[in-house]
Amino acid sequence: MSERDWLRDFGTSVDIILISALVGWTLNIFPPPYPPLEVPMIAVILFFLPRLEPYMVLARRIRRWRTRLAFANPRIAILSGYVRSETNETRCQPGFTNFTPEDWRDNFQRRSDSNRTYTVELIPADKISRRYAVIVNPFGELYPEADLIELTTFRSIKDYLRAGGIFVHAGGVPFYYSWDARSGRPRPTSRDLQFSSFTAAQPGQPTLISPAFAHGPVPSLVETLARDHFRLRTTAYDNANLVLGYQTDAERMFVGDIEGAGGTAKVEEFRAAVDESPQFIPFLRCKTPSPDPSHPLVEVYPLGAIPCGEGFLVLAGMNFLTTATDGDVRVAEAQLEKVCLALANITQRMYNRQWPT
């Protein structure tokens, strides 16, 4: 539910209570016939009360108080890969990750924070709601979608974010493929790239341009749901890059020291956010090779968040399929720990009012 819808429902409830009290008071105090001003007074209250600034401020404070309480002992949901249930559905397949929903659940259940507890559930996509402080999509570039045309699951994710939730995407470009649980196939959500072939012209004749059908349909890395709805821009190299991650002091203050979480500072950057993404909040940085010879290395953000309403879309632009190691440490497992530790620290700071909500 969006903030506007919540405020409207809240205002309607308060209106009904106040109007009922006013009518009851009038009926008890004044005998029939009733004052002719009663109906206009009720109409004025009904129309103007939700629009009064003090009322809106109070409603927002109540909303933020409820949001803060949700992070005290957070309920964390992991998308199970189904839209409604396991019956007659094929589970969503992962993209650029080897970690299952159960792996994410086990990581949070193993956490031993002395002053708080985590309640972790696997949920189908139609259970996305603000009863959960954090929802994780563990399937990389794929997500289970109830309606491939109207994108109702995607819209419910946006409503969840606007209402103050934290939605986590791990691996590749967010929402790049929607998963059709009925047919068991991924569907690109971006537009197809148009390739063209060029036939050399004879002297004095125009060059012939025709569609390059041999390429087939190729989903665009530019016109994506993440770009259209969140203005996210990412790296677009064909290969992942194993690099060292690092943080600034401000980033450590907000999400804790996650640089060496999992036993290594190495990450395999893949589709990390770039500096042109407006409002992006970095949690972790790295320098990755650039195709521009004048700038051989460019700083990108393999972990961070984009504000959306009162919530945050957390993005992990890393390759969770990697088999790379740093000594005895598996880089993929260290990346998973970095994301989970960042989420644990963020929810704690949001409860303590140390995060920009």
Q: What percent of the chain has pLDDT over 90?
A: 55
Indicate the pairing of strand 196-199 with strand 185-188.
unpaired
3-state secondary structure the chain: CCHHHHHHHHHHHHHHHHHHHHHHHHHHHCCCCCCCCHHHHHHHHHHHHHHCHHHHHHHHHHHHHHHHHHCCCCEEEEECCCCCCCCCCCCCCCECECCCHHHHHHHHHHCCCCCCCCEEEEECHHHCCCCCCEEEECCECEEECCCCCCCHHHHHHHHHHHCCCEEEEECCCCCCEEEECCCCEEEECCCEECCEEEECCCCCCCCEEEECHHHCCEECCCCCHHHHHHCCCECCCCCCEEEEEECCHHHHHHHCCCCCHHHCCEEEECCCECCCCCCCEEEEEEEEECCCCCCCEEEEEEEEEEEECCEEEEEECECECCCCEECCEEHHHHHHHHHHHHHHHHHHHHHCCCCCC
pLDDT of residue 295: 80
Q: Are residues 112 and 180 in the same domain?
A: yes
Q: Are residues 274 and 342 in the same domain?
A: yes
Question: Please, are residues 161 and 305 in contact by the beta-carbon 8 Å criterion?
Answer: no
Task: Specify the higher pLDDT residue, 216 or 261.
Answer: 261
Per-residue confidence band for 191, with pLDDT thresholds at 50, 70 and 90 = confident
Average pLDDT over residues 257-269: 96
Look-up: residue for tokens 């004749």? 205
Pair of tokens at residue 219:
């989903």
pLDDT of residue 218: 64
**Would residue 142 count as lying in a domain?**
yes
**Would residue 112 count as lying in a domain?**
yes
275-291 pLDDT, tens digit each: 999 999 999 999 998 87
142-185 pLDDT, tens digit each: 999 999 999 999 999 999 999 889 999 999 999 999 999 999 99
Q: Are residues 214 and 343 in the same domain?
A: no
Mean pLDDT across the chain: 83
Q: Are residues 219 and 98 in the same domain?
A: no
Of 59-68, 118-127, 177-186, 237-246, give the lowest mean pLDDT range. 59-68
pLDDT of residue 9: 60
Q: Are residues 79 and 148 in the same domain?
A: yes
**How far is 102 from 329, CA to CA, in rounded Å?**
21
Sequence-separated (6 or more) residues with CB below 8 Å from residue 252? 259
82-139 pLDDT, tens digit each: 999 988 999 999 988 999 999 999 999 988 777 888 999 999 999 999 999 999 999 9
Per-residue confidence band for 196, with pLDDT thresholds at 50, 70 and 90 = very low
Q: What percent of the chain has pLDDT over 70?
A: 72
pLDDT of residue 142: 95
Closest CA to 97 of 57, 141, 45: 141
Q: Are residues 61 and 114 in the same domain?
A: no
**Would residue 311 count as lying in a domain?**
yes
Q: How many CB atoms lie within 10 A of CB 264?
A: 23
Is the peptide bond preceding residue 32 cis, with omega within 30 degrees of 0? Answer: no
**Would residue 248 count as lying in a domain?**
yes
Q: Are residues 84 and 116 in the same domain?
A: yes
Is pLDDT of 203 > 80?
Answer: no
Is pLDDT of 294 > 70?
Answer: yes
Task: Specify the higher pLDDT residue, 6 or 159.
Answer: 159
In whole angstroms, what separates CA 305 from the centre of its chain? 8
Q: Are residues 234 and 298 in the same domain?
A: yes
Q: Are residues 338 and 201 in the same domain?
A: no
Domain that holds residue 171: 74-187+227-351
Indicate the pairing of strand 119-123 with strand 166-170.
unpaired
Task: Specify the higher pLDDT residue, 203 or 296.
Answer: 296
Sequence-separated (6 or more) residues with CB below 8 Å from residue 118? 73, 74, 76, 108, 109, 111, 344
Average pLDDT over residues 242-271: 95
Is pLDDT of 213 > 60?
Answer: no
Task: Specify the higher pLDDT residue, 188 or 204.
Answer: 188
Q: Are residues 89 and 208 in the same domain?
A: no
**Would residue 356 count as lying in a domain?**
no
Q: Are residues 242 and 296 in the same domain?
A: yes
| Number of domains, the chain | 3
pLDDT of residue 277: 92
11-50 pLDDT, tens digit each: 556 656 666 676 666 656 655 555 555 556 656 665 665 5
Q: Are residues 64 and 166 in the same domain?
A: no
